[in-house]
Amino acid sequence: MGYPPTMPTAFEQQLRILGLDLRTCVNSRALRLWCEHNKDHCYIPEWLLELWGMTVDPHFSVERKDRVA
């Protein structure tokens, strides 16, 4: 039995959309804005958050809208 395929994180998807890699992402204004908006609920590499001086709110929660009809 093999391992199931892994899905890219939202951060990795954003890199692809913007045509960036780990070397070029540091200078991207569009990625930085995306990270500022999504840092509390999406995975963003710690080294990048530290480089940009961003902190994550450990108490942030998104109210789930999942409902069973």
- The residue segments making up the domain with residue 48 are 10-52
Please report whether residue 29 resides in a domain.
Answer: yes
Average pLDDT value for the chain: 89
Please report whether residue 5 resides in a domain.
Answer: no
Please report whether residue 23 resides in a domain.
Answer: yes
Rounded CA gap, 14 and 16, in Å?
Answer: 5
User: What digits encode the pLDDT tens for the residues 14-47?
Assistant: 999 999 998 999 999 999 999 999 999 999 999 9
Residue 52 has pLDDT above 70, yes or no: yes
Residue 53 has pLDDT above 90, yes or no: yes
The amino acid present at 29, given as its one-letter code, is: R
**Looking at residue 69, what is its pLDDT?**
46
Confidence (pTM): 0.77
Higher pLDDT, 1 or 47: 47
The dihedral through the CA atoms of 14, 15, 16, 17 has a sign that is positive
